C-alpha cells in the first residue's frame, strides 16, 4: 500500500528524471534544469518538488503524505553524490531553494541561496575554501538576508541599510572592501534584525531552514502580487509552483570565480552575436541587484578563456536544441563553469520577427513554426510610429506602457483646457494623477494621456486603449499637482504648456520634444520599401512571414472603409474587399442641409426632392469606392444611426432660436428644427429608431441608397471596370424586416442593372441577439451575414459601450469578471456563442451562406482565432489592423507542435 502511494504520488524528481516538456509538473526552471542535465551540461545536482505537491499543500494547508520522505530520500542521494552532508559543521553541503512556476511570474518568492549555513558550518565552509573567511561570512550574511526577507517577511531595507552602514564605516562604496571581520559583524547585526522582526532566533538547523524555505515557496503562489499578476496576464490560478533544490556552487570565491547572464542573440534587435553581462567574485544575486558594475560578456574571454569557450559551445548547443533564443545564467567557481538556468528568452517585437526569420534561414525551424513564434500584438506594435532615440534623449521617468504609440504635446492638467488648446490646433498631453469619467472629452482631445497612478487596467489605460490613444499610466515618480497646474519629477518642474513626449509601448516619459519616425513596417506595407532589396532585416522577416501567413490562411481579410483613399490604403495593406462601408458620413458636411430638409419635409414631394438631390452625391461616393476596390467585394451598410444625430444638439438650437428672436430675425426654420429635435428625442437612442427601423419608417430613404449603389456599380462596369456590391441591412431582428426591405430593393436593382451584368447581393448584419437566435429564418432572406460584434456585444451584455468603458470596466477587470474588455476581444462564452449559433443555423438553412464579421473584433488576434474556428469566410477591420488579421488568420490555420508565442 505504502509503495503504491509512492508510485501514484511522486512529488520529487531528480534533475536526471525530468525534461523540458514537463513544465506543467516541474515548472519552467526545473524542466529546463533537467533538460540541460540530460544534455550532459554541467548543472549542479539537485531535485525538483512538483507543482502537484504545491497544489496539495495549498489545498490542505500541510505537506502531502509522503513528501517529507521523498525529500529526505532525494536529499540523501544528493549528499551521497556530493560526498557532503547538508550543513555539516566540517564540510557543509549548501543548497539553493528556487521557485519556478510554468510561466515566470513577478511577485513569486525568489530564491534563497546558501541554505545549510549556520554558526558552526560557516567555520567549516571557510576551512574548506582554503581559509577564505571572507567568502564564508559573505555567504552566511546573504543567507540570513535572503531567508529573512523571502521566508520570514523581514523588511529588506533593514538589511540593506545595515550593509550600507558597514560600508560607510569603512568609507567605501564597494562591497569587496568589506573584510571577513566586517562581514562577521554584519552577520551579528543581521541576526538581531531577524530576531526583532520574527520573535525568534535565526534557525540553526539546516533541515529546518530547508523545510521553511520550501514551504515559503509554496505559499508565495498566493502572494497578493502574484495573484494580481496572474489575473492581468490571464494565467490560471491553479497551476501552482515547483520548488528546485540545487547544490550551491560559488562565484564569490575570488577573482577566478564569478557569475553572469548570457543571451544567444540580442533580445532587443534579434541580431546574432554574444550578449550578456559578467561579474567577477560575486554570487548570482549581485548581477541583477546591480550593486557593482558588470562587464560585457565578451570580457570573459580575457578573464578566463577556457570557461568562455566552453560557455559559447553550450550556448550554441542550447540554441540548436531549443531552436530559439535562449537566455542563460551561469557561475564560474575557481575556473569551473556551471550552468544554473536556461529558458527560451523574452524578446522585443522586432527581435521576435528577426529571430524567426533567421532560424528559418539557418534551417532550425520551418515557416509554419516561424508563424507561431510571432503574433499580431507584436506586429501591431511594430506599426506604430516610434521615437527616434539618440543618446540626447534620456527618459525622466518610466511608467506602464498602457496603450502603445509615440505622442508629443503640450502638457495640460484639465479636460477643459485640453479641449480648448486642441481646438486651437495644439497637440496636447493630458496629465492627471488618475483619470475619471469626467476627463473623457479631454482624453478625446489629447494626443496622449499620462498618469502617475494606476496600472494597465486603470481608467486611463482602459479608455485610452478603447480609443486607440497613446497612454502611459502609473508613472509614480511624477508628483502631479492639478490645482497648481504643474508636476515635478527628478527635481524638475513642468508647467502647463511645456512639451513632453510619452512612449505608450515602453512607458518612457521625456521632458522634451522627441522626434517621431514612421514605422518601417508600415513603409513596407505601403509599398515604399522593397523587401527584396532592403537590408532592413526586420522588413525582410516581416515580408517572409506575412507571405507565408497569406499562403496558409483560410479566412479572408477585408477592411472597414468609407472613402476611396481609405479603401486604397487598406488594399495596399492586403485587404481583399470592404466588409463594412458606412454610409453615414455621406450625410455630413455640406450635405447636412439636404438631410435637414429630408427630416423636416412636410409633404411627400419635399421628401422626394431632398432624396433626389442626395442621390447623385451618394452615387459619386460609391463610384470612388468601387474604383478603388476594382472588383473586390464591397459591403455597403444602409444608413444606421438615428436621423436626429444629423441635427444640431438641442441646447445649441434653443440658444440659436432665442438669440435670433432677440435680433428680430426670421426664425421659422430654426423653430421647425427645434421642434423636430424635441419630437425625435429618444431616451435610449442605441435602442431607438435606427437601422432597418428607419428604412421602414422613412419612405424612399433606403431605396435612394440602393439606387445610388447599383447605379454606381453599373457606371463603373460600363466604363470597363468591375464592381461587386453587397448591400447590407443593419439592425435586423426579424426576417420580416429584411423581407420588406429586400422586396423593394430587388425591384430597383432589376430596373437599374439592365443588361450590364452587375450582380448585387443583399444580406444583413447579425447584431441583435434575436437575429442570431432566429438565424435559420433570416438566412432564407439573406445572401450573406455579417456579424456586427460591437452592437452584438452591447446588446448581449445590455450595456452601452460609450457609457460603461469609463464608468466601471476598470472595476470589472480588477475583480476578474473580465480578463479583458469584451469590446477588445470577443467574449467567446456569451457573444461568441450567439455567433456560433447563427453561423450554424444560417448555413443549415442556406448552404454556402457567406459569413463575415465587421466589428472591431475582426482585427483582434484572439478573436480572429475564434472566427477561424467558427468557420467564417472573412473578418473585416480598420485598415491598420488588416496586416494583424492576416497574420493571425495564418497562425490560426497552422497547427504546430512547437511553442506558441504568448
Ligand atoms: P531568478 O528566477 O530570480 O533568477 P534564481 O532561482 O534563478 O532566481 O536564482 C537567483 C540567482 O541565484 C541567479 O543568479 C542564480 O543563477 C543564482 N543561483 C541559484 N541557485 C544557485 C546555486 N545552486 N549555485 C549558485 N548560484 C545559484
Ligand atoms: Mg534565474
Ligand atoms: Mg451596429
Distance 790 CA to ligand 3 centre (A): 7
Burial class (CB in 10 A: 0-12, 13-18, 19+), 663: exposed
Q: What is the DSSP track for 688-749?
A: SS-THHHHHHSTTHHHHHHHHHHHHHHHHHHTT---EEEEEETT--SHHHHHHHHHHHHHHH
Burial call 524-552: b when 16+ CB within 10 Å, e when fewer: bbeeebeeeeeebbbbbbbbbbbebbeeb
Q: What is the DSSP track for 860-898?
A: -HHHHHHHHHHT-SEEEE-GGGHHHHHHHHHHHH---SS
Burial call 403-421: b when 16+ CB within 10 Å, e when fewer: bbbbbbbbbbbbbebbbeb
Q: How far lies 366's CA from each of 354, 356, 357, 544, 671, in Å?
A: 14, 9, 9, 12, 70
Q: What integer pLDDT is reported at residue 290 of this predicted model?
A: 56
Distance in angstroms (rounded) separating the CA atoms of residues 630 and 625: 9
Q: How far lies 605's CA from each of 202, 550, 602, 642, 707, in Å?
A: 95, 52, 8, 22, 18
Summarised one tens digit per residue, pLDDT across range 206-233 is 999 999 999 999 999 998 878 877 876 7
Q: How far lies 800's CA from each of 112, 436, 794, 819, in Å?
A: 51, 17, 5, 19
| HSE value, Cβ hemisphere, 13 Å, CA-based, for 469 | 27
Cell triple for 762: 443583399
* Mean predicted confidence (pLDDT) in 360-364: 95
Q: Which ligand is nearest to the CA of 731?
A: 3
Summarised one tens digit per residue, pLDDT across range 369-385 is 999 999 999 999 899 98
Residue 899 has pLDDT above 70, yes or no: no
What 3-state DSSP class applies to 290?
coil
Distance in angstroms (rounded) separating the CA atoms of residues 204 and 839: 67
Pocket test for ligand 1, best of 113, 247, 277 (most atoms within 8 A of CB): 113
Distance 329 CA to ligand 2 centre (A): 6
Q: What integer pLDDT is reported at residue 106 of this predicted model?
A: 66
Distance 341 CA to ligand 2 centre (A): 6
Active site residue 161: no
Distance in angstroms (rounded) separating the CA atoms of residues 416 and 574: 40
Nearest CA to ligand 1 atom 15: 284
Q: Please state which of the ranges 105-109, 686-690, 759-763, 787-791 shows the lowest mean pLDDT.
A: 105-109
Q: Please state which of the ranges 107-111, 533-537, 577-581, 751-755 shows the lowest mean pLDDT.
A: 107-111
Confidence of residue 348 (pLDDT cuts 50, 70, 90): confident
Cell triple for 645: 444625430
Q: Tell me which residue of 845, 899, 850 sits closest to 873, measured CA to CA.
A: 850
Q: What is the DSSP track for 628-662?
A: HHTTSEEEEEPP-S-GGGGSPPHHHHHHHHHHHHH
Residue 213 neighbours by CB distance under 10 Å: 25
Q: What integer pLDDT is reported at residue 5 of this predicted model?
A: 45
Active site residue 854: yes
Q: What percent of the chain has pLDDT over 90?
A: 74
Confidence of residue 2 (pLDDT cuts 50, 70, 90): very low
Residue 898 has pLDDT above 80, yes or no: no
Inter-residue contact 378 to 389 (CB < 8 Å): no
* Mean predicted confidence (pLDDT) in 435-464: 86
Residue 108 has pLDDT above 80, yes or no: no
Summarised one tens digit per residue, pLDDT across range 317-331 is 999 999 999 999 999
Mean pLDDT score of the chain: 92
Q: What integer pLDDT is reported at residue 6 of this predicted model?
A: 46
Inter-residue contact 74 to 30 (CB < 8 Å): no
Grid cell 571581520 in the structure block, residue? 181
- Kindly give, in sequence order, each residue whose CB lies less than 8 Å from that of residue 723, ignoring residues fewer than 6 positions away: 626, 629, 631, 634, 712, 713, 716, 717, 758
Q: How far lies 418's CA from each of 429, 450, 489, 813, in Å?
A: 8, 13, 21, 28
Q: Please state which of the ranges 581-590, 740-749, 770-779 shows the lowest mean pLDDT.
A: 581-590
What 3-state DSSP class applies to 797?
helix
Confidence of residue 107 (pLDDT cuts 50, 70, 90): low
Q: Which ligand is nearest to the CA of 637?
A: 3
Distance in angstroms (rounded) separating the CA atoms of residues 174 and 194: 24
Q: What integer pLDDT is reported at residue 466 of this predicted model?
A: 67
Q: What is the DSSP track for 54-116?
A: HHHHHHHSSPPTTHHHHHHHHHHHHHHHHTSEET-SSSEE-EEEEEEESS--TTS---EEEET
Most confident of 113-117, 657-661, 801-805: 113-117
Nearest atom within ligand 1 for CA of residue 340:
16
Distance 100 CA to ligand 2 centre (A): 9
Residue 810 has pLDDT above 90, yes or no: no
Residue 822 has phi, psi (to 5 degrees) of -65, -10
Grid cell 560575486 in the structure block, residue? 282
Cell triple for 510: 521625456
Q: How far lies 877's CA from each of 31, 333, 764, in Å?
A: 41, 57, 18
Q: What separation, in Å, do the N-terminal and C-terminal C-alpha atoms of the chain show? A: 43
Q: What integer pLDDT is reported at residue 1 of this predicted model?
A: 39
Residue 131 has pLDDT above 80, yes or no: yes
Inter-residue contact 17 to 74 (CB < 8 Å): no
Helix axes 180-198, 133-152, angle to 10 degrees: 20
- Per-residue 3-state assignment (H helix, E strand, C coil) for 409-420: EEEECCHHHHHH
Distance in angstroms (rounded) separating the CA atoms of residues 806 and 460: 8
Q: What percent of the chain has pLDDT over 70?
A: 97
H or E stretch covering 525: helix 520-526
Distance in angstroms (rounded) separating the CA atoms of residues 359 and 319: 10
Nearest atom within ligand 1 for CA of residue 251:
25
Inter-residue contact 258 to 277 (CB < 8 Å): no
* Mean predicted confidence (pLDDT) in 586-610: 88
Q: What is the DSSP track for 832-865?
A: HHHHHHHHHHHHHHSTT-EEEE-SGGGG-HHHHH
Nearest atom within ligand 1 for CA of residue 100:
2
* Mean predicted confidence (pLDDT) in 869-893: 96
Q: How far lies 152's CA from each of 163, 198, 358, in Å?
A: 19, 7, 47
With a Cβ cut-off of 6 Å, ligand 1 is lined by 44, 96, 98, 110-111, 113, 246-249, 284-285, 329, 331, 340-341
Cα 792 versus chain centre, distance: 24
* Mean predicted confidence (pLDDT) in 728-741: 98
Nearest CA to ligand 1 atom 14: 284
Residue 248 has pLDDT above 80, yes or no: yes
Q: Around ion ligand 3, which residues have CB less than 5 A away?
A: 767, 788, 791
Distance in angstroms (rounded) separating the CA atoms of residues 153 and 147: 9
Predicted TM-score (pTM) of the model is 0.85
Amino acid at each position: 500500500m505504502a509503495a503504491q502511494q509512492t508510485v501514484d504520488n511522486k512529488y520529487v524528481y531528480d534533475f536526471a528524471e525530468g525534461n523540458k516538456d514537463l513544465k506543467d509538473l516541474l515548472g519552467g526552471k526545473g524542466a529546463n534544469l533537467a533538460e540541460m542535465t540530460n544534455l550532459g551540461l554541467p548543472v549542479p545536482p539537485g531535485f525538483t518538488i512538483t507543482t502537484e505537491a504545491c497544489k496539495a499543500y495549498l489545498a490542505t494547508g500541510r505537506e502531502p503524505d509522503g513528501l517529507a520522505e521523498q525529500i529526505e530520500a532525494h536529499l540523501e542521494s544528493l549528499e551521497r553524490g556530493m560526498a557532503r552532508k547538508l550543513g555539516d559543521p566540517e564540510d557543509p553541503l549548501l543548497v539553493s531553494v528556487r521557485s519556478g512556476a510554468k510561466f515566470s511570474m513577478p511577485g513569486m518568492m525568489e530564491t534563497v541561496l546558501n541554505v545549510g549555513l549556520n554558526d558552526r558550518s560557516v567555520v567549516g565552509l571557510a576551512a574548506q575554501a582554503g581559509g577564505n573567511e571572507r567568502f564564508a561570512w559573505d555567504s552566511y550574511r546573504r543567507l540570513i538576508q535572503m531567508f529573512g526577507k523571502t521566508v520570514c517577511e523581514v523588511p529588506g531595507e533593514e538589511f540593506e541599510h545595515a550593509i550600507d552602514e558597514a560600508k560607510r564605516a569603512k568609507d567605501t562604496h564597494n562591497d569587496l572592501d568589506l573584510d571577513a571581520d566586517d562581514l562577521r559583524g554584519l552577520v551579528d547585526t543581521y541576526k538581531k534584525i531577524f530576531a526583532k522582526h520574527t520573535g525568534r532566533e535565526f534557525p540553526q538547523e539546516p533541515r529546518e531552514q530547508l523545510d521553511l524555505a520550501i514551504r515559503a515557496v509554496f505559499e508565495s503562489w498566493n502572494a497578493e502580487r502574484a495573484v494580481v499578476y496572474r489575473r492581468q496576464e490571464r494565467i490560471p490560478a491553479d497551476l501552482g509552483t515547483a520548488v528546485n533544490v540545487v547544490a550551491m556552487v560559488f562565484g564569490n570565491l575570488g577573482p577566478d570565480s564569478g557569475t553572469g547572464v548570457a543571451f544567444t542573440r540580442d533580445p532587443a534587435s534579434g541580431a546574432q552575436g554574444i550578449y550578456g553581462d559578467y561579474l567577477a567574485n560575486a554570487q548570482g544575486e549581485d548581477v541583477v541587484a546591480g550593486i557593482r558594475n558588470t562587464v560585457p560578456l565578451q570580457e570573459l574571454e580575457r578573464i578566463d578563456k577556457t570557461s568562455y569557450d566552453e560557455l559559447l559551445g553550450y550556448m550554441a548547443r542550447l540554441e540548436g536544441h531549443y531552436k530559439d533564443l535562449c537566455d542563460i545564467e551561469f557561475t564560474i567557481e575557481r575556473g569551473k563553469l556551471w550552468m544554473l538556468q536556461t529558458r527560451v528568452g523574452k524578446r522585443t517585437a522586432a527581435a521576435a520577427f528577426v529571430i524567426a526569420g533567421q532560424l528559418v534561414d539557418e534551417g532550425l525551424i520551418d515557416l509554419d513554426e516561424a508563424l507561431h513564434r510571432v503574433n499580431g500584438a507584436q506586429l501591431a506594435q511594430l506599426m506604430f510610429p516610434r521615437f527616434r532615440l539618440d543618446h540626447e534623449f534620456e527618459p525622466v521617468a518610466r511608467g506602464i506602457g498602457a496603450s502603445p504609440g509615440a505622442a508629443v504635446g503640450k502638457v495640460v492638467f484639465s479636460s477643459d483646457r485640453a479641449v480648448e488648446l486642441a481646438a486651437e490646433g495644439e497637440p496636447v498631453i493630458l496629465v492627471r494623477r488618475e483619470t475619471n469619467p469626467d476627463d473623457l472629452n479631454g482624453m478625446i482631445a489629447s494626443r496622449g494621456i499620462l498618469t502617475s497612478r494606476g496600472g494597465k487596467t486603470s481608467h486611463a489605460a482602459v479608455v485610452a486603449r478603447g480609443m486607440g490613444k497613446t497612454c502611459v499610466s502609473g508613472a509614480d515618480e511624477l508628483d502631479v499637482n492639478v490645482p497648481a497646474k504643474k508636476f515635478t519629477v527628478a527635481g524638475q518642474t513642468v508647467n502647463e504648456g511645456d512639451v513632453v513626449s510619452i512612449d505608450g509601448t515602453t512607458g518612457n516619459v521625456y521632458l522634451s520634444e522627441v522626434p517621431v519616425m514612421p514605422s518601417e513596417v508600415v513603409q513596407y506595407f505601403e509599398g515604399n520599401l522593397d523587401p527584396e532589396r532592403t537590408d532592413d532585416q526586420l522588413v525582410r522577416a516581416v515580408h517572409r512571414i506575412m507571405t507565408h501567413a497569406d499562403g496558409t490562411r483560410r479566412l479572408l481579410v477585408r477592411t472597414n472603409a468609407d472613402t476611396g483613399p481609405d479603401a486604397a490604403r487598406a488594399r495596399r495593406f492586403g485587404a481583399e474587399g470592404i466588409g463594412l462601408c458606412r454610409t453615414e458620413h455621406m450625410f455630413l458636411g455640406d450635405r447636412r442641409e439636404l438631410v435637414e430638409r429630408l427630416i423636416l419635409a412636410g409633404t411627400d414631394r419635399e421628401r422626394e426632392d431632398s432624396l433626389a438631390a442626395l442621390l447623385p452625391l451618394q452615387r459619386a461616393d460609391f463610384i470612388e469606392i468601387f474604383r478603388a476596390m476594382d472588383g473586390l467585394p464591397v459591403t455597403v451598410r444602409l444608413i444606421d444611426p438615428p436621423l436626429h444625430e444629423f441635427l444640431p444638439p438641442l441646447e445649441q438650437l434653443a440658444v440659436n432660436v432665442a438669440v435670433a428672436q432677440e435680433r428680430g430675425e426670421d426664425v421659422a426654420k430654426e423653430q421647425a428644427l427645434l421642434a423636430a429635435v424635441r419630437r425625435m428625442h429618444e431616451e435610449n437612442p442605441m435602442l431607438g429608431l435606427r437601422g432597418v427601423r428607419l428604412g421602414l419608417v422613412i419612405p424612399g430613404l433606403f431605396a435612394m441608397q440602393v439606387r445610388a449603389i447599383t447605379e454606381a456599380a453599373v457606371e463603373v462596369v460600363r466604363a470597363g471596370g468591375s464592381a461587386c456590391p453587397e448591400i447590407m441591412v443593419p439592425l435586423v431582428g426579424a426576417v420580416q424586416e429584411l423581407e420588406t426591405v429586400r422586396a423593394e430593393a430587388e425591384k430597383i436593382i432589376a430596373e437599374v442593372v439592365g443588361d450590364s451584368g452587375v450582380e448585387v447581393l443583399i444580406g444583413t448584419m447579425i447584431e441583435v441577439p434575436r437575429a442570431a437566435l432566429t438565424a435559420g429564418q433570416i438566412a432564407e432572406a439573406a445572401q450573406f451575414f455579417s456579424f456586427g460584434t460591437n452592437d452584438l456585444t452591447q446588446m448581449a451584455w445590455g450595456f452601452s459601450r460609450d457609457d460603461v468603458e469609463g464608468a466601471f470596466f476598470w472595476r470589472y477587470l480588477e475583480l476578474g469578471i473580465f480578463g479583458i474588455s469584451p469590446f477588445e476581444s470577443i467574449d467567446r462564452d456569451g457573444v461568441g456563442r450567439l455567433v456560433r449559433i447563427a453561423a450554424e443555423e444560417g448555413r443549415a438553412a442556406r448552404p454556402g451562406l457567406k459569413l463575415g464579421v465587421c466589428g472591431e473584433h475582426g482585427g483582434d488576434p484572439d478573436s480572429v482565432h475564434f472566427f477561424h474556428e467558427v468557420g467564417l469566410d472573412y473578418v473585416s477591420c480598420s485598415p491598420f489592423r488588416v496586416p494583424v488579421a492576416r497574420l493571425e488568420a495564418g497562425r490560426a490555420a497552422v497547427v504546430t507542435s512547437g511553442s506558441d508565442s504568448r
